[in-house]
Structure 1
Amino acid sequence: MKVKICGIKDITTALSAIESGADALGFVFAESKRKIDPETAGEIIRQLPADILKVGVFVNETKEKIEKIAEVSGINTIQLHGDEPTEFCSSFSIPVIKALSVSSAEDLFRMDEYSCDFFLLDSPKGKYRGGNGISFDWSVLADSQFLDKKIILAGGLNPENVAEGIKAANPYMVDVSSGVETEGKKDLGKIKRFIEKAKSTEKEEVK
């Protein structure tokens, strides 16, 4: 099971997450309490292994600004967490994650509208588009088979429920931010426990 730790703001957390087994790190460039500037993100990213996904998170940003931030920071994947149209999502030269808020099974059909590398399924938006610490009803995924799509499960995951989420959704990757924080800051112990739980939970084999 692959794991993405989102909301990275310092090199210590980044390296500790990777040492614990993280496959991807998220850097938030949209309005958020976890927002980071491109230059600081770049300083962190330049110290990371080449095979790690370095994901930049954007909400309804212009293509020009996204490309500029990607150039400055060195991110190698773009996460679009707003109301970006289909054509916009397929206009980049590096991989794209399209985030979709899920409140019912009908929301899952929106995946058919997009051509992108990954889909991140998140809770309905709160104050911010993500990182609100609330799960959606995973049972809506029970009868769905995403054989041709790489699904990233997000929204309200933590070390205590990530195994349940993996078994319910059978995703390609799990994504966590607030679920590995203590008093609003990344907790290295929680990150380690989250990754250990996720990695030890077997995905169901598709028959």
Structure 2
Amino acid sequence: MNQIRVKMCGITRAEDAVCAAQLGVDAIGLVFFSGSKRCVNIEQAIEIVKHLPPFVSVVALFVNESAAKIREILAQVPIDVLQFHGDETPEFCQQFQRPYLKAVRVKSVDDIQAAWRDYAAAKAVLFDAFVEGVYGGTGHCFDWTMLPENPQGHWILSGGLNPDNVAQALQITGATTVDVSSGVESAAGIKSHEKMAQFMRQIRGFQAVSHF
């Protein structure tokens, strides 16, 4: 079985980023969407990234942002991967010469199939729960059984994951990459280091059992 890779999103404090890295998280997410309680500005982002050790990827999350603003952030913050969580077209996502993820708020199997077709150039498609008017960080799950047994491309499981359900989610979906945000928080944008540790323990435990 492949190693399960983990991104912890909505990081707003350097100490949370450091904790994530110490726990073995593969990537952290910085939200640059003003409509989010987890939004960071450029100065905060620079401070957070400065404290990260090597080989932890930094993902910048945008929701229907202007190309000019994205370029302004990329010029100042060392970003590895872009994540688009709004209504961005494939052409918009591809213009920044960076690997990108496209988040899709799942309502039906058709949404899943269309995402792989339309965003074939994405590094991966991220499947999240659909909540009207909310772009991620909702704490809600979608129906995991909608995911196909034979996926057409790389994908990331998101939406409502937490220490109590992540092992079940992995068992049902066969996901090898997961994204968590609100499920490891004590308050919006404030990560609970204990919940972060519990989340990673559940993943490691699932992997250990799955190897037998």
TM norm structure 1: 0.92
> Secondary structure of the residue that 1:134 maps to in structure 2?
coil
Distance of 2:198 and 2:183 partners within structure 1: 11
1:3 and 2:6 correspond: yes
> Secondary structure of the residue that 1:45 maps to in structure 2?
helix
Q: Summarize deviations over 1:47-98 as a string: whole Å, max 9, x none.
A: 2123111011100112221121122121111000000011112222111010
Contact 1:150 1:171 in 2 (8 A): no
Contact 1:150 1:172 in 2 (8 A): no
The number of residue pairs the alignment matches comes to 203
Distance of 1:127 and 1:107 partners within structure 2: 17
Q: Percent identity among equivalent residues?
A: 38
**Aligned residue in 2 for 1:91:** 95
Which of 196, 208, 212 is the matching residue for 1:191? 196
**Aligned residue in 2 for 1:116:** 122
Shift of 1:165: 1.0
Distance of 1:126 and 1:180 partners within structure 2: 23
> Secondary structure of the residue that 1:202 maps to in structure 2?
helix
Say if 1:62 and 1:183 are closer, same or farther in 2 by CA, change over 3 A: closer
Q: Summarize deviations over 1:135-160 as a string: whole Å, max 9, x none.
A: 0000101x33125x221110000001
Which runs of 5 or more structure 1 residues have no equivalent in the other structure?
none
Contact 1:96 1:118 in 2 (8 A): yes
Distance of 2:159 and 2:48 partners within structure 1: 25
Contact 1:135 1:156 in 2 (8 A): yes
The one-letter amino acid paired with 2:92 is F
Which of 29, 33, 40 is the matching residue for 2:32? 29
Say if 1:26 and 1:47 are closer, same or farther in 2 by CA, change over 3 A: same
> Secondary structure of the residue that 1:129 maps to in structure 2?
coil
Which runs of 5 or more structure 2 residues have no equivalent in the other structure?
none
TM norm structure 2: 0.90
Say if 1:17 and 1:94 are closer, same or farther in 2 by CA, change over 3 A: same
Say if 1:83 and 1:39 are closer, same or farther in 2 by CA, change over 3 A: same
Distance of 1:123 and 1:189 partners within structure 2: 25
Distance of 1:62 and 1:10 partners within structure 2: 25
For 1:22-61, list aligned pairs within 5 A.
22-30=25-33, 31-61=35-65
Contact 1:138 1:168 in 2 (8 A): yes
Q: Return structure 1 stretches of 4+ with deviation > 3 angstroms.
A: none
